[in-house]
Amino acid sequence: MRVALVVVGTLVLLIGVVFAGQGLGLIPGSFMTGDMKWFWIGGAMVVVGLALGAGGLRSGSPKRV
């Protein structure tokens, strides 16, 4: 579960960065290019991706003593 959260968080983060870049017009060639709505959607995805990744890194099985 831990690895899956980190992988999903990373994918959501990367897709969010692409969406934000397209929304700002930094990545051309899409219907999203230059539309600020996609910047905000991408920004939200970056935050969610970071939260998922951090949750995956923090949630580990407790160490046995």
Burial (CB count within 10 angstroms: exposed 0-12, middle 13-18, buried 19+), residue 27 = middle
Q: Is residue 65 part of a domain?
A: no
Q: How far apart are the first and last CA of the chain?
A: 22
Domain count across the chain: 1
Question: The whole model's pTM is what?
Answer: 0.84
User: Does the pLDDT of residue 37 top 80, yes or no?
Assistant: yes
What is the domain range of residue 38? 2-57
Q: Is residue 34 part of a domain?
A: yes
The tens digit of pLDDT for each residue in 54-64 reads 998 887 666 66
Label residue 29 left, alpha or beta by phi (over 0 means left) and psi (-120 to 50 means alpha). Answer: left
What are the phi and psi torsion angles at 33 (to 5°)? -60, 125
Do 11 and 49 form a contact (C-beta atoms < 8 A)?
Answer: yes
pLDDT classification of 15: cutoffs 50, 70, 90: very high
Q: Is residue 14 part of a domain?
A: yes
Q: Is residue 64 part of a domain?
A: no
User: Does the pLDDT of residue 31 top 80, yes or no?
Assistant: yes
